[in-house]
Amino acid sequence: MAEVRYAKAINMALDEALSEDPSVVLFGEDVAQAGGPFGVTRGLLDKHGELRVRDTPISEATIVGAAVGAAMSGLKPVVEIMFMDFVAISMDALVNQAAKARFMFGGQCTVPMVLRTPHGGGVNAGPQHSQCLEAWFAHIPGLKVVVPSNPSDANKLLKAAIADPDPVIFIENKAMYSLKGEMSETEEDVAIGKARIARSGTDVTIVSYGAAVNTALAAAKTLAQSNIEAEVIDLRSIQPWDEAAVLESLSRTHRLVILHEAVTSFGVGAEIAARMADIGFDELDAPIVRVGAPFMPVPFAKSLESQYLPNTDKVIAAVEQVLA
């Protein structure tokens, strides 16, 4: 099995989709000639031509609006918004148009578009280039939200997202682009909405998604040294999210920690916790503890950002708390 970087795994999925399906088109700022600000789309213009791989001006509202219109007219657009923070400019097209069209037109059309965008800190990019805003999208009926945690999943989930008839927000992690990982070649089912047990354990369930899954795994490794066996669930997608898988794990471990990089308050973890405090209540032997970013903008300075971001220590502390 080959090792590839996260960015390359995404590139491969895009290349494959463009090769296989003439209705797939790709556009965004600096994605064509320059191959993308993080190199993710390198080579695709040369290979697939300028009709289908296009650079756009800096017009996020129209980039996403055009993706919706194109998706309603026979294409499968994959658009890139350079940093997730800039999606703020495109929210109307996503929320009022893409998310609603199928429903409000009575199922007459689908909106098979994918919006790729990187979230997350770790590169000192400051308060307007580091946010994790996925909770916004997860709250909107009609959108799907996928957040892969490793190269192999990124590849398979992106292909699934492009094939999906509904609009998908595909969230990458800028600090992970150069991460290497094996490309799984099993027939294992990598589907939007299906979680994966990233590590089995019996003492506590840690639910996470995206890059934070790796933090959870590192924490689990350390915990194992103290004979605490944490089960780590990688949600893979947060809308829909695999509540059955979480409940099943909880019914074995009876303790739950939720981890993500986004701000804890009103974040994705809130829904998971709330749901388990309802349908999983009888399984719970301890308070549900969430680990995420504190309620503050992502700070610039290295020392500040490193204290801001969730890390293994914080996960370990949370696990110890629910086991206390």
Partner 1 sequence: MKSTKAGKPASKSQLLDFYERMLLVREAENKLSSLFADGEVPGFIHLSIGQEAVCVGVTAALEKQDTLASNHRGHGHALSKGVELESFFLEIMGKEEGICGGRGGSMHVADMSVGMLGANGIVGAGIPLAIGSALAHQVRKNDAIAVVFFGDGALAEGVLHESFNLAALWKLPVLFVCENNGWSEFSPANLQFVANVRDLAKAFDIPSQCVDGNEILDVHKAAEELTAAARRGDGPQLLECITHRVRGHFEGDPQKYRTEEEMTSLSEHDPITKFEKLVATKRITKKEMQSVRDKINQKISNAVDAGRGGSDPDFERARTDVYTAGEGL
Ligand X SMILES: Cc1ncc(C[n+]2csc(CCOP(=O)(O)OP(=O)(O)O)c2C)c(N)n1
Catalytic residues: 60, 129
- Residues in contact with its own copies, shown as a per-residue x/- string from 290 to 309 under the rule CB under 8 A: x----xxx-xx---------
User: Tell me, what amino acid is at 132?
Assistant: C
269 binding partner (options its own copies, partner 1, ligand X, none; Cβ < 5 to 8 Å by kind): its own copies
243 interacts with partner 1 by CB under 8 A: no
Residue 37, preceding bond cis, omega within 30 degrees? no
Strand, helix or coil at 108? Answer: coil
Pairing assessment for the beta strands 76-80 and 114-119 based on DSSP bridges:
parallel
279 binding partner (options its own copies, ligand X, partner 1, none; Cβ < 5 to 8 Å by kind): its own copies
* Stretch of residues binding its own copies (CB under 8 A), selected from 44-52, 97-105, 153-161, 194-202: 97-105
86 interacts with ligand X by CB under 6 A: yes
271 binding partner (options partner 1, ligand X, its own copies, none; Cβ < 5 to 8 Å by kind): its own copies
**Least distance (Å) from its own copies to the CB of residue 149?**
20
**Least distance (Å) from ligand X to the CB of residue 57?**
9
Rounded Cα distance, 287 and 244, in Å:
20
- Give counts: helices (H), strands (E), the chain: 12, 14
82 interacts with ligand X by CB under 6 A: yes
Interacting positions 53-92 with its own copies (CB under 8 A): 61, 85-86, 88-89, 91-92
Residue ranges in the chain assigned as alpha helix (H): 6-20, 44-48, 60-71, 91, 99-104, 134-138, 151-163, 212-225, 243-253, 268-279, 302-308, 312-323
265 binding partner (options its own copies, partner 1, ligand X, none; Cβ < 5 to 8 Å by kind): its own copies
CA atoms within 13 A on the CB side of 61: 3
Q: How far is CA 113 from the centre of its chain?
A: 16
Count CB neighbours of 14 within 10 A.
28
Rounded Cα distance, 319 and 324, in Å:
8
178 binding partner (options ligand X, its own copies, partner 1, none; Cβ < 5 to 8 Å by kind): none
Interacting positions 265-324 with partner 1 (CB under 8 A): 294-297, 299-304, 307-308
End-to-end, the C-alpha distance of the chain in Å comes to 41
Pairing assessment for the beta strands 230-234 and 196-199 based on DSSP bridges:
antiparallel
68 interacts with partner 1 by CB under 8 A: yes
**Choice between 104 and 277, CB closer to ligand X:** 104
Q: Applying CB under 6 A, which residues contact ligand X?
A: 29, 58, 60, 82, 86, 89
Q: Which residues bind its own copies (CB under 8 A)?
A: 61, 85-86, 88-89, 91-92, 94-96, 99-100, 103-104, 126-128, 133, 135-136, 138-142, 239, 262-263, 265-274, 276-279, 281-282, 284, 286-290, 295-297, 299-300
